[in-house]
Amino acid sequence: MSPLLLFVLMVTSFATLLTAHIAIVIGLARKVPRWRALVAVVLPPLGAVWVIRDRQWLRGITWLVAAVVYIVVRLVG
């Protein structure tokens, strides 16, 4: 793979991961118990698990896919 493609994948996946994480924290803050949003700020994977359990599929799956892509690109590059 070309270095440019790896760079674009890494930046895109990290931006998607960060955006999904912010959406997860906001989604958790809107529902009771609200303390889960604070915990999700410190432990992002736990936030992804909680939103999937709360049936917020798009946020959780987006976070998981972006995290996997980012990790794979970091390992390859």
User: What's the pLDDT tens digit per position in 40-55?
Assistant: 999 999 999 999 999 9
Q: How confident is the model at residue 77 (pLDDT cuts 50, 70, 90)?
A: confident
% of the chain residues with pLDDT over 70 = 100
Kindly tell me the number of DSSP H helices and DSSP E strands found in the chain.
4, 0
All structural domains of the chain with their residue ranges: 3-76
Is the full-model pTM beyond 0.85? yes
Distance CA(49)–CA(76), nearest Å, equals 26
